[in-house]
């Protein structure tokens, strides 16, 4: 069952709705502003309801604090080096909002939009139209994102199509803590990622080509380990990101739906299994967090993100595009899925 209520209003007076999925003793709430995942409440090992999503209780929190907490990201999730996008020989200069680079769609991304909504049975479907030239991207882009929450699994299905050749790379920026959103630290969350390589970056966190094997490095999560075990290691890529903020290239082929990560809390017994058919995931350990959230202050590493996507900056690096290009022809459908399943 999906219920609907008014969550609040934006600074501009726009009404924001909250849609709550009820699934036995579990629930998930999604906002039509930015497609934000506002909460996921699941029972812990003792049956206590536990919210595993970091966020805010009102619109002021989402509007006044950075971090993209819980939001849909587009047109292009993650970074494009120097905001340079070239399609068929024509260069489009994108807005640079992160150390001289284009991040998460630019100055006004999908996270800030009020999305149209409809409910079809057990599905919440959000849609938006990004006009030709918005944030200087070519093409009118029609986007539809479908949420379901059944059996403790939140599934997000992304679809988009443009009337011109363009770049598309959608993701969700939920911050998780399987200890509970107010616990304060994810360093003891135990993480497994099915990945053999990351994309090393330059000093501004842009992957500029090549891969780095994770074996024998702090980035190796092929054997489950606490997130905090190696986060302070003497490693150039860790230092540049001030911790984990890197693209993990998954073992699946682009379009092949697989389980790519599992996160477990020894405190609550909650396990989150993660699935996608995208070729990569950005693992961000909340290194820059500093805001007051729903029930607590969120300091550094209070939450983590697993942002499924194409490899960042693949529009400028051919070897990355070969693992899944973000350039789509006019009329070519963008269609990918991500899911998070919870149990204790």
Catalytic positions are: 173, 307
Decide if 21 contacts 37 (C-beta within 8 A): no
Quick one: how far is CA 42 from the chain centroid? Answer: 20
Distance CA 5, CA 157 (A): 23
Side-chain-facing half-sphere of 133: CA atoms under 13 Å: 0
Q: What separation in angstroms does the CA of 223 have from each of 48, 215, 229, 263?
A: 29, 10, 12, 12
Could you give the dihedral angle defined by the CA atoms of residues 305, 295, 178 and 198, in that order, rounded to the nearest 10 degrees?
20
Burial tier of 167 (Cβ tally within 10 Å: 0-12, 13-18, 19+): buried
Closest CA to 323 of 248, 220, 224: 248
Q: Mind giving me the DSSP string for 182-218?
A: TS---TT-EEEE-EEEE--B-TTS-B-S--EE-TTST
Residue 59's H or E segment, with its range, is helix 59-64
| C-beta neighbour count of 212 within 10 angstroms | 17
- Contacts for 115 with CB less than 8 Å, ≥ 6 apart: 32, 33, 34, 35, 72, 126, 127, 128, 145
Distance CA 175, CA 219 (A): 19
Distance CA 198, CA 87 (A): 26
The token pair that represents 67 in the structure block: 């971090």
Beta-strand pair 195-198/245-250: antiparallel
């Amino acid at each position: 069952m999906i219920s609907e209520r008014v969550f609040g209003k934006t600074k501009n007076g726009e009404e924001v709705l909250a849609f709550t999925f009820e699934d036995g003793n579990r629930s998930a709430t999604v906002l039509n502003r930015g497609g934000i995942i506002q909460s996921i409440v699941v029972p812990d090992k003792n049956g206590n309801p536990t919210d595993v999503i970091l966020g805010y209780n009102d619109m002021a929190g989402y509007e006044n604090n950075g971090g993209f907490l819980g939001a849909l990201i587009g047109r292009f999730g993650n970074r494009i080096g120097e905001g340079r996008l070239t399609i068929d020989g024509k260069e489009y200069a994108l807005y640079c909002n992160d150390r001289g680079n284009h991040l998460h769609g630019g100055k006004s991304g999908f996270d800030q939009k009020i999305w149209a909504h409809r409910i079809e049975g057990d599905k919440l479907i959000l849609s938006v139209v990004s006009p030709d030239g918005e944030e200087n991207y070519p093409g009118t882009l029609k986007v539809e994102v479908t949420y379901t929450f059944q059996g403790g699994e939140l599934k997000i299905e992304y679809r988009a199509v443009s009337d011109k050749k363009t770049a598309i790379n959608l993701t969700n920026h939920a911050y998780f803590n399987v200890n509970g959103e107010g616990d304060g630290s994810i360093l003891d969350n135990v993480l497994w990622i099915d990945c053999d390589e990351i994309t090393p970056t330059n000093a501004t966190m842009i992957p500029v080509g090549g891969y780095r094997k994770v074996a024998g490095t702090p980035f190796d999560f092929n054997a489950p380990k606490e997130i905090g075990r190696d986060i302070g290691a003497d490693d150039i890529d860790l230092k540049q990101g001030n911790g984990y903020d890197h693209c993990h290239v998954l073992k699946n082929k682009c379009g092949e739906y697989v389980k790519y990560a599992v996160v477990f809390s020894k405190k609550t017994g909650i396990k989150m299994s993660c699935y996608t058919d995208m070729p990569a995931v950005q693992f961000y350990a909340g290194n820059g967090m500093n805001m007051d959230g729903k029930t607590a202050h969120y300091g550094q590493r209070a939450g983590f993100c697993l942002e499924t996507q194409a490899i960042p900056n693949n529009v400028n690096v051919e070897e990355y595009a070969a693992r899944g290009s973000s350039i789509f022809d006019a009329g070519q459908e963008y269609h990918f899925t991500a899911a998070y399943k919870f149990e204790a």
